[in-house]
Amino acid sequence: MSNQKKTEGLAGVTAGKTELCTVGKEGAGLTYRGYDIYDLVEKASFEEVAHLLLHGRLPTAVELEAYVEKLQSLRGLPTKLKTVLELIPPDAHPMDVQRTGVSFLGNIEPEMDFSCQFYTADRLLACLPSILLYWHRFHKDGVRIETETEDNSIAGHFLTMLHDQAPSEQHRKCLDTTLILYAEHEFNASTFAGRVITGTLSDMHSAVAGAIGALRGPLHGGANEAAMDLISQYTNVDNAIQGIREKLEKKELIMGFGHRVYTTSDPRNSVNKRMSKMLASEQGNTLLYDISEAIEDVLWTEKKLFANADFYAASVYHFMGIPTYLFTPIFVCSRVTGWAAHIMEQRANNKLIRPAAEYVGPELQEFISLEER
């Protein structure tokens, strides 16, 4: 029985090898290709991290300049794709929009063979923010935005398309930091889904669309949106403390806390918490941050549940004027780097992923004819 519990949902099962990421070493660590996440957040840009994951190493200054220029050149959307985005209903789930955008792009710009994989990965990285925000602005504001901005970062590009003006450097840097934090996380559900699809020798667009579909589920993506909904319920700290205790008494699930792999803390949380506090102070109103911290304290004190990457990311995005329903799609704009890197890694040493199942159905039965049933 203990072995069965340990492996439910493949928990604790090593399903393959990767050079890309370590998660939860000694309960807390996170590295990308051997670089500690705190060093990357402090010293690198998201474009440097994307280059590291997709192309195997940190770029030189000359390589970074060329890579940024390449990504800038790949942001534009074909007219046919814009037409598809305009036809998607305004009340569609934004994750469905991204999934459809990736799938349609695979029809009009197919990955002809695996030699095109680096271009395809860079193209998806560059244009996913454009796909999301073209649809969002068309249906919300009735405008057809320009998706080829002059911003030299994906974070700046995203915020410019969203707000029709260049962001402050602090806001750009904060979004850039969250993109780094979300870029890769080993064999999580969406990444594993992408590798399973890749194992059949399918194309990158299919694998990324499948990964988006996995992330769409509330048990994988969406925790930052749920965290924002939770925080927004309360008008003051005392109200929040009482409300959370009532939820705990009712054994309600509280999103944004705990983790499937981390056992003591999520290393990404402290970074998001620091940014949330800074942005709250910038706005001159710390109530939302104070409520968040009160919720975090109650859950740790009473249940030893720690905040994960999603909890404070919610208020970080909120303070930058990002609508709540776009929180998880931002995850896609970042994680496509990790997904694409895993797709390439799977292809480099491919084996069809076909696990066995433990059969728990009925024993062999005698067939009864239709007339005798």
As annotated, the active-site residues are 220, 259, 310
Among residues 65, 104, 70, which one has the least CA distance to residue 84? 104
- Cβ contact 48:333 at 8 Å: no
- Cβ contact 292:231 at 8 Å: yes
- Cβ contact 205:99 at 8 Å: no
Helices (H), the chain: 2-7, 37-43, 46-55, 61-73, 79-87, 94-108, 117-141, 154-163, 169-182, 189-199, 204-216, 223-232, 237-249, 267-283, 287-303, 309-319, 327-348
Counting Cα atoms < 13 Å in the Cβ hemisphere of 233 gives: 16
3-state secondary structure of 332: helix
Among residues 153, 150, 118, 122, which one has the least CA distance to residue 44? 153
- Cβ contact 231:314 at 8 Å: yes
